[in-house]
Structure 1
Amino acid sequence: MRVPLSWLREYVELPEEVTPRALASALISAGLEVETVDVVGADITGPVVAGRVLDIEELTGFKKPIRFCRVDVGGANGTGEPQEIVCGARNFAEGDLVVVALPGAVLPGDFAISARKTYGRVSAGMICSASELELWEDHAGIIVLPEGAADPGADAYGLLGLRDDVLDIAVTPDRGYALSIRGVAREAAAVYGVPFTDPADVAPPERNDGGYPAVVADPEICSRYVLRGVSGFDPAAPSPLWMRRRLHLAGVRSVSLAVDVTNYVMMELGQPLHAWDRSALRGPIEVRLAKPGEKLETLDHVVRELDPDDILITDDSGPINIAGVMGGLDTEIGDASTDVLIEAAHFAETHIARTSRRHQLSSESSRRFERGVDSAVQMAAATRAVALLAELGGAVVDDGVTHLDLGAPRDPIVVRADNAGRIAGVAYPVETEIARLRLVGCEVVQDGDTLSVTPPTWRPDLTDPNDLAEEVIRYEGYENIPAVRPRAEAGRGLTRGQRLRRGVGRTLADAGFSEVLNYPFMGERDLDGLQLEPGDARRSALRLANPLNDDEPLLRTTLLPGLLKALVRNVGRGFGDVALFEMGLVYRPEPGAPERAPMLGVDRGPTPEERAAVDAAIPNQPRRVGAVLAGQRERAGWWGPGRAATWADAIQAAREVAAAAGVELVVRADRHAPWHPGRCAALYVAGADGERLVGHAGELHPRVVKAYGLPERVAAVEVELDLVEAAAGAATAPEVSTYPVATQDVALLVDGTVHAADVEAALREGAGALLESVRLFDVYTGEQVGEGRKSLAYSLRLRAGDRTLTAEEATAARDAAVALAAERTGAVLRG
């Protein structure tokens, strides 16, 4: 909403010393988002005056008509003699009052005016058009001022409003009243505590009947409907200069007097209006919802299929308007319209909002209706419009008036007298709260410790006690609410889960991973790309009612889609060696859970049944950590050829996550989408109830790589951090032995189908308490071990906490470990 300060000052008595930027700052403090303060006309300097054309000489011999004019500019040129000016415009005659820029003036675009010879004559100045002064869009010719507007030589700056300050306000959806000069003026008056003149305070008509016949089918779609008409309107009457200038400053294009009047009143009062050529109407008007199959050609020459949710204005011929959005082509005001019917209505906000989005028609009218307009200003707006048509267009206002008032009075909101103070944490006196609410326009009745507050009709956004508290707080000043730092209870610190998440993040960052934060949304296409089977639990996702992106309407059930798309973006920008990780929630609905949670009011607490219904709709939200790797894990250099990232690096990342939690990870081969069947590991941790699956790691399936456009051989891991945390016991300090370690290496021959993890588990159990660690350091297959067999070489570190181990003790522990491995896996000690 663009608000010219000169227009605003007509309705609020701002102190003279208030600057535009000070006003903007005050309105911002009160909650309006003033984005900029534009100084319009600041680039126009020098003498710009009114002048009377004394005589015109038509010059011949040129490719276009040229006129040599003598213009009386009074004493503005310092001599009092007529100014001689060459001009090519044809829309003025001798005796007309025009606007003249004299030598020394500078017009927009840094266009300096000087005396110069052109077309064989000396032109000492310029007769100006509206476009040259950037007053409004007009290419018809120069400005012809109304007779008597000014004397020759009079300054044109004030006459035309060449300079003005304009506030550009970004109006939030809850403050529709600010989409008008009236609404902003009321805010400014409240901020500065100065008188406010309501432009809607016009004399009502003497009668409320006898107007054009109309009916409203349903009060729920239109609570008030007003029609007023004029006859004998001059369609050729021009819009006055002041109106065209104000509309231009407010960002509205001037069209014709009838249309300009409706737009002017809309900008002034916030009430959208529509003007019809009354002779084009066929029978009584009806306000109703559209019927299936109905169509309407709107003013933009588009034939639109109407929806049963659209509010229509109809006559006997069918639809003539999409209510609150756009008019129909057949009944628009034309060059021959002499009888004009003005409509002012209060339509249902939700219907208008849905219609505007459905038809992709966002207009100044729909913007106001969908935010909520004053439900009692319709008669004033229509009366103001017909009065302007009569004053400026020579029309006669019809005696008859159509006024259908189907609305119900607003119920009062009962609040505690100290409600605003309790919410802000500031002790506002009750008298202050009452005064601020009355300043907004509320009717307030105090009854002991409670207030009964009836909001005004122009504030449909005030619906509950918190809204009323906001009004008190913002006028008292958000900056006056003290900032109090919350004090943490002594001895608390981070929770166990917080320490774990920080530790995991540091561990992965130390290992060379970069953390990313992705939106928690995904689509069916993402799940298809992961090659998930139709019955996979990860396909059961919660669908958003209003997604940010139609391609991602689901809450994620796995971290992998976001990580893989982030990997693609990095690779596409030239970063081929990538290691990314993310910690975050995934959303896993319970089988049979409702698809929607119930919408609860804010006027009371929920009942146990309502709480249960909400809880049933909330999905499980486990916290997970995921990582992806591509390219070189170890870069090449003078130290060596480097090494590509493999499935083993993904498993190692999982081991480091588990180590950060202080738990041991058990790794076993598995088949699980989206990983490659032969390069996928299931990850387990041991708990009181046995081993629990906490995630998977490995190399992604080639079909997944192709679906996402990934580089070859991408590795990934996803671990449920909540399960890892649950398996972690109380943190204990490790025992550090001062005695030396004994190392024993063993090489075991096993069948090719035996998993190294099973061999390792047997060695750990067999070696007993003396085993400090076991590490697989070599895997060999070839002719020396036979077809279908492999050699696994392990290093066993043995240590006792109370003595130095003897060679016999170390050998016995090794032999016990080998014996158990042989018993469980068929391993044979390799010679």
Structure 2
Amino acid sequence: MRTSLSWLRDYVSLPASSTAAELDEALTNLGMEVESIVDQAATVQGDLVVGRVLTIEELTGFKKPIRFCTVDVGKDAPQEIVCGARNFAEGDLVVVILPGGELPGGFKIGARKTYGRNSNGMICSSAELGLSGDHSGIIVLPAGSGVPGADARPLVGLDDVVVDVEITPDRGYQMSLRGLARELSYAFEAAYTDPALISAADGTTDVPHPVVVEDTVGCDRFSARVVRGIDPNAPSPEWMQRRLVAAGIRTISLPVDITNYLMLELGQPMHVFDLNRISGPLVVRRSRPGEKLTTLDGVARVLDAEDMVICDDTGPISLAAVMGGETSEWQPDTVDVLLEAAHWDPVMVGRTARRHKLFSEAAKRWERGVDPSLTLVALERAVQILTAHAGGTVAAEVLDLDHRAAPRPILLDPALPAQRVGVPYPADQVGELLERVGCTVTGNNPLEVTPPTWRPDLVAPIDLVEEVARLAGYNNIPSLLPPARGGTGITAAQRRRRTVGRAMAENGYVEVLSYPFVAPALADALGYAVDDPRRSAVRLTNPLSEEEPLLRTSLLAPLLGVTVQRNLSRGLRDLALFEIGTVFLPSGTTAVPPVMGVDRRPTPAEWKQANEFVPAQPWHLAAVLTGEIAPSGWWGPGRAAIWADAVSAARIALSAAGIADSRVSVAAAAETPWHPGRCAAVSVDGTVVGYAGELHPAVVSALDLPKRTCAMELDLSAIPAAPVVQGIRIASFPPALIDVALVLDRSVPAAEVSSALAGGAGELLESVALFDVYESDQLGEGKRSLAYKLTFRAPDRTLTSEEALAARDAAVAAVASQFGATLRGA
């Protein structure tokens, strides 16, 4: 909202000594964000003076008329100035900027030779001074308004201050001079004059033009008046043009400028129709299927069933509250006008403006809320200004179709402001502050508060609490930190996730964050079976993208389908990425969710029932490997990532989560989207918590990923809590290290062999580790050799070789018994 300080002073008696800083502070304390406060006098640099034209010489031989003038600017000698305007004569007073000055936009003025003559300065037009868009001629001052050499700024309105504030969406009443002046009267405790307090003609039985309102919800008040026989060439007065330009609105014509002026002054948008271009009675209704309208911006728009339109016999002629149509707009030869002022539903206007991307000044005010009591006042002011400057006859009939609902009172506990804000507000102060904003306050406890018509944002007790705090002064609210409650800081689950993330990063993985939204087709690309539960996903009612309306049920879906693909498209081939995040698993309930309002807290039963519809959101960890895990170069060939690296990533994560390696088992599995022969199920204490391995070739092909891409995904929420770590006794006796190579069937999992060795070796076995896998036809068909390093140690003595070999033999015997293994080379 932009306006001039002089315009504000018409309605509020601000102190003459008030500075820009004081005005800035006052507006900020009232809850408005001040964009700028600009002194217009500073927009023109240098000497801007009154000049009297002494002589005019018409120069010929050029493509356009040029005049060579001598102008008295209060100096010893007249200034020679070349000018192209022709709307002035000898003896006229004009506005001159002298050499060394600078006009708005950085246009510097100097002495130069042009059209064969010397020109020392410029005779200015309103457009060149930034006062209006009028380029038709230069400014001619009234006779006797100044003496040559005097400062011309006060004479043309450049002695004003322009205030630009950002209005929050809930305070539409501030988007007018009426509202801003009222607000400043609170801050400066100054006298306020309401521009709406004028005598306006009431609606009459006879109407100036027949109008039917079919939808009284979308339009609960429609008023109109007619003026005939106006002068179509009458210009807008200079004071109006200056104020509109200061507000950032282009001047168009007198009737249109009046509607814009009153929209700024009162906050009531209006529209002017050419009465002779309206065919038949007007009908205010919702749009019908297939209807179109060409708006004033020349765009043909397809209307929606929710749009409100004003129609005549030809169809829609105006997109109500947003923009008028071409067929009925004011024309340069218009002599009979119908002025309309109505009250429209803010929700309807907001949706219409967004649907058609028409964020007009009128629509901005309507969606924030406009005072419904202003229609007749605005019409009265409009016809007064119009007839004063363009003549014409005002029709005696006044249309006023009023379907407004009476305002509802709000019950307020006078102690509530103090309870919510933490500052003592006596009951009489609460009532006094609310009356200052125009509320009617009756009763004692509770207070019965009826908001004024211009405050549609006051609908609940908490809104009144905000008004009390605002008017009593935000600066009077102490800034106190809340007491720190005792606690243990982050939770165990949060600590685990952070520890796992650090472990992954320390092992060379880069953390990424993917959007949780996925496309339905991604389930096919990942090879999910028709009955795979991961296909059952939560569908968003209002997704950011219609192509991705589902919430992920697996981290690998967006990680592979979006993040990895984007990195590959940027030329990155060797990737080691991980992500920790939630997945969304539908609750599966088919009951009807409870309908809860905002007027009260939900009951425990409603809260429990509502939570039954919230999807489960366990935390998962996923990692993806492509290309080389060890880079190649002059130092060596490097190494490509394989399925075992994905399994290793799972072990790293589980170790960081506090799970001992002895509790982790890895076994072959068949799970999409992994390769059935290179997929491992990762279990903790016998419970599967995730899968790791190489992706299925079909998945790699469908997602256009590098061959042998590997991945891992763990359900962190399914991992049991880490036990309390007991300190281990460090033995000072030397270990006995014995390697064994066992030949057994290829189908026997290495992890089960390790468990069998540990079980058979007894208490002397300290650790067992697989260090080699060998396959050869010499071993026999379907056979392979697994080599393990066994570490034996006694806590109280040095083991003899006989003890170590006996433990080794017992371990091998256990494997032989369970899996038919034999010692290699035996």
| TM-score calculated relative to the size of structure 1 | 0.90
Deviation at 1:598, TM superposition (A): 5.4
CA distance in 2: counterparts of 1:820 and 1:302, whole angstroms: 86
Deviation at 1:40, TM superposition (A): 4.6
Instruction: Confirm or deny that 1:189 pairs with 2:178.
Output: no
Structure 1 residues 117 and 8: CA distance shift in structure 2, 3 A: same
Deviation at 1:151, TM superposition (A): 6.4
Deviation at 1:210, TM superposition (A): 3.2
Match of 2:678 in 1: 679
Tell me, what secondary structure is at the counterpart of 2:398?
Answer: strand
Structure 1 residues 627 and 460: CA distance shift in structure 2, 3 A: farther
CA contact (8 A) 2:229 2:393 kept: yes
Superposed CA offset, 1:77-109 (max 9, x none): 224x76542112345556665432234433235
CA contact (8 A) 2:96 2:124 kept: yes
Instruction: Confirm or deny that 1:827 pairs with 2:821.
Output: yes
Match of 2:710 in 1: 715
Structure 1 residues 41 and 613: CA distance shift in structure 2, 3 A: farther
Greater shift, 322-331 or 623-632, is seen at 623-632
CA distance in 1: counterparts of 2:429 and 2:285, whole angstroms: 45
CA contact (8 A) 1:160 1:241 kept: no
Instruction: Confirm or deny that 1:736 pairs with 2:747.
Output: no
Instruction: Confirm or deny that 1:375 pairs with 2:368.
Output: no
Structure 1 residues 711 and 26: CA distance shift in structure 2, 3 A: farther
Match of 1:14 in 2: 14
Which of the numbers 245, 251, 254 marks the counterpart of 1:254? 251
Match of 2:742 in 1: 748
Deviation at 1:780, TM superposition (A): 1.8
CA contact (8 A) 2:757 2:811 kept: yes
Greater shift, 245-254 or 114-123, is seen at 114-123
CA contact (8 A) 1:5 1:20 kept: no
CA distance in 1: counterparts of 2:411 and 2:356, whole angstroms: 40
Which of the numbers 455, 472, 476 marks the counterpart of 2:451? 455
Structure 1 residues 194 and 780: CA distance shift in structure 2, 3 A: farther
Match of 1:656 in 2: 652
Structure 2 portions without partners, runs of 5+: none
Match of 1:396 in 2: 393
Amino acid at match of 2:470: R
CA distance in 2: counterparts of 1:422 and 1:603, whole angstroms: 19
Superposed CA offset, 1:658-715 (max 9, x none): 22233232222223333333332222222xxxx3322222233445445555555433
Deviation at 1:289, TM superposition (A): 1.1
Number of equivalenced pairs: 818
CA distance in 2: counterparts of 1:530 and 1:164, whole angstroms: 68
Instruction: Confirm or deny that 1:230 pairs with 2:224.
Output: no
CA contact (8 A) 2:203 2:400 kept: no
Structure 1 residues 94 and 171: CA distance shift in structure 2, 3 A: same
Deviation at 1:238, TM superposition (A): 1.6
Instruction: Confirm or deny that 1:276 pairs with 2:273.
Output: yes
Match of 1:700 in 2: 695
Superposed CA offset, 1:55-86 (max 9, x none): 54321123432122344x5xx4224x765421
Amino acid at match of 1:620: A
Structure 1 portions without partners, runs of 5+: none
Deviation at 1:525, TM superposition (A): 4.9
CA distance in 2: counterparts of 1:574 and 1:343, whole angstroms: 62
Greater shift, 329-338 or 537-546, is seen at 537-546
Instruction: Confirm or deny that 1:34 pairs with 2:34.
Output: yes
Greater shift, 811-820 or 652-661, is seen at 811-820
CA distance in 1: counterparts of 2:407 and 2:202, whole angstroms: 26
Superposed CA offset, 1:337-383 (max 9, x none): 11111111111122222222222322222222222222222222222
CA distance in 1: counterparts of 2:543 and 2:140, whole angstroms: 54
Tell me, what secondary structure is at the counterpart of 1:239?
Answer: coil
CA distance in 2: counterparts of 1:41 and 1:203, whole angstroms: 37
Tell me, what secondary structure is at the counterpart of 2:585?
Answer: coil
Tell me, what secondary structure is at the counterpart of 2:494?
Answer: helix
CA contact (8 A) 1:56 1:67 kept: yes
Tell me, what secondary structure is at the counterpart of 1:432?
Answer: helix
Match of 1:216 in 2: 213
CA distance in 2: counterparts of 1:70 and 1:334, whole angstroms: 41
Tell me, what secondary structure is at the counterpart of 1:601?
Answer: coil
Superposed CA offset, 1:760-816 (max 9, x none): 333344344444333221122233334433222222333444554443443344334
CA contact (8 A) 1:189 1:196 kept: yes
CA distance in 2: counterparts of 1:593 and 1:36, whole angstroms: 55
Greater shift, 776-785 or 424-433, is seen at 424-433
Deviation at 1:230, TM superposition (A): 1.8
CA distance in 1: counterparts of 2:22 and 2:674, whole angstroms: 62
Tell me, what secondary structure is at the counterpart of 1:137?
Answer: coil
Superposed CA offset, 1:154-176 (max 9, x none): 53312333355434333332222
CA distance in 2: counterparts of 1:699 and 1:226, whole angstroms: 73
Deviation at 1:502, TM superposition (A): 2.8
Question: What is the identity percentage for the equivalent residue pairs of Structure 1 and Structure 2?
Answer: 52
Structure 1 residues 502 and 351: CA distance shift in structure 2, 3 A: same
Tell me, what secondary structure is at the counterpart of 1:447?
Answer: coil
Amino acid at match of 1:773: S
Match of 2:778 in 1: 784
Structure 1 residues 521 and 829: CA distance shift in structure 2, 3 A: same
Match of 1:667 in 2: 666
Amino acid at match of 2:463: D
Tell me, what secondary structure is at the counterpart of 1:184?
Answer: helix
Structure 1 residues 505 and 318: CA distance shift in structure 2, 3 A: same
Tell me, what secondary structure is at the counterpart of 1:376?
Answer: helix
Greater shift, 817-826 or 240-249, is seen at 817-826
CA distance in 2: counterparts of 1:77 and 1:557, whole angstroms: 83
Structure 1 residues 279 and 52: CA distance shift in structure 2, 3 A: farther
Greater shift, 632-641 or 423-432, is seen at 632-641
Amino acid at match of 1:763: L
Amino acid at match of 2:622: G
Superposed CA offset, 1:416-470 (max 9, x none): 222222222333333333333333332223423x222222222222222222222
Instruction: Confirm or deny that 1:285 pairs with 2:282.
Output: yes
CA contact (8 A) 1:672 1:680 kept: yes
Deviation at 1:633, TM superposition (A): 3.0
Match of 1:46 in 2: 46
Which of the numbers 623, 639, 645 marks the counterpart of 1:627? 623
Which of the numbers 753, 759, 767 marks the counterpart of 2:753? 759
Deviation at 1:121, TM superposition (A): 2.9
CA distance in 2: counterparts of 1:761 and 1:39, whole angstroms: 85
Match of 2:412 in 1: 415
CA contact (8 A) 1:737 1:800 kept: no
Structure 1 residues 219 and 62: CA distance shift in structure 2, 3 A: closer
Superposed CA offset, 1:607-640 (max 9, x none): 4553344223211111222233344433457875
Which of the numbers 476, 484, 487 marks the counterpart of 1:487? 484
Which of the numbers 439, 447, 458 marks the counterpart of 1:442? 439
CA contact (8 A) 2:74 2:148 kept: no
Deviation at 1:145, TM superposition (A): 5.2
Instruction: Confirm or deny that 1:265 pairs with 2:262.
Output: yes
CA contact (8 A) 2:765 2:790 kept: yes
Instruction: Confirm or deny that 1:523 pairs with 2:519.
Output: yes
CA contact (8 A) 1:770 1:798 kept: yes
Tell me, what secondary structure is at the counterpart of 2:624?
Answer: strand
Alignment of 1:255-404 (within 5 A): 255-404=252-401
CA contact (8 A) 1:68 1:87 kept: yes
CA contact (8 A) 1:181 1:270 kept: yes
CA distance in 2: counterparts of 1:445 and 1:806, whole angstroms: 100
Deviation at 1:577, TM superposition (A): 4.3
Greater shift, 615-624 or 542-551, is seen at 542-551
Structure 1 residues 546 and 144: CA distance shift in structure 2, 3 A: farther
Tell me, what secondary structure is at the counterpart of 1:383?
Answer: helix
Match of 2:3 in 1: 3
CA distance in 2: counterparts of 1:234 and 1:85, whole angstroms: 36
Tell me, what secondary structure is at the counterpart of 1:587?
Answer: coil
Amino acid at match of 1:545: T
